[in-house]
A and B are shown apart, each in its own frame.
Chain A
Amino acid sequence: DTGVSQDPRHKITKRGQNVTFRCDPISEHNRLYWYRQTLGQGPEFLTYFQNEAQLEKSRLLSDRFSAERPKGSFSTLEIQRTEQGDSAMYLCASSFPISSGEPTDTQYFGPGTRLTVL
């Protein structure tokens, strides 16, 4: 078990460009979550998937944001027409609802992708 991985770890882009981030969850985890963390704050929920179905989206997720999990494994988060306010750490987490001795939905986080919009 290699843990949750995210790619890239850092992304610098110019305002107005599109960016896409990838998250690979822990294998066999069927829930996948995206959070956004700005400097000095705790992570804020963006969206989550159970298998390939996107079950909830935060109001923070504007029309410029789209997330997919096409085969119920890895997920991508795309931001179109980036703005300086999108600069943040984007964190991915995964969990599985069937208990294996842990609470259901214990979320394990990846290292994050730090986005800087110039």
Chain B
Amino acid sequence: GEDVEQSLFLSVREGDSSVINCTYTDSSSTYLYWYKQEPGAGLQLLTYIFSNMDMKQDQRLTVLLNKKDKHLSLRIADTQTGDSAIYFCADLDSSYKLIFGSGTRLLVRP
């Protein structure tokens, strides 16, 4: 089946940029999503990118997609302590279900 992989942990200083990376295997992917999960909570949709786009910017968030390498990244500018959470990359497969990575835990140090 399709697979999505992410690095497990990222630590940054408050005010710096964070870059979270993701790779996927689905050749027929149409949309890719980023979700944020805080402890004990559900998933909050952050942003998405269509597979024929290279980049999408949404306020402090920038998504970059390299379709050839099947690599997706999420950049958070001016990272704040409130951004500390787990970030999930997800691929919408051809039968409308989301395939998630294991999540990247972002820790923002004051």
Contact = CB atoms under 8 A, between A and B. Distances in A.
Interface residues on B, range: 20 to 34
B102 interface: yes
Given A42-B88, A103-B48, A109 B43 contact: yes
B10 interface: no
A31 B95 CA distance: 12
A43 B96 contact: no
B24 to A, nearest CB: 12
Interface residues on A, range: 20 to 34
B41 A112 contact: yes
A108 interface: yes
A106 B92 CA distance: 9
A107 B33 CA distance: 10
A56 to B, nearest CB: 6
Contacts of B55: none
Contacts of B4: 42
A105 B41 CA distance: 21
Contact of A45 (B31, B35, B97): B97
Q: Which 9 A-B pairs have the closest CB atoms?
A: A42-B100, A109-B43, A45-B97, A111-B42, A109-B42, A103-B31, A112-B42, A105-B96, A43-B100
10 contacts: A42-B4, A42-B102, A56-B97, A91-B43, A93-B43, A105-B31, A105-B96, A107-B33, A109-B35, A112-B41
Interface of B: 4, 30-31, 33, 35, 40-45, 48, 50, 88, 90, 92, 95-103
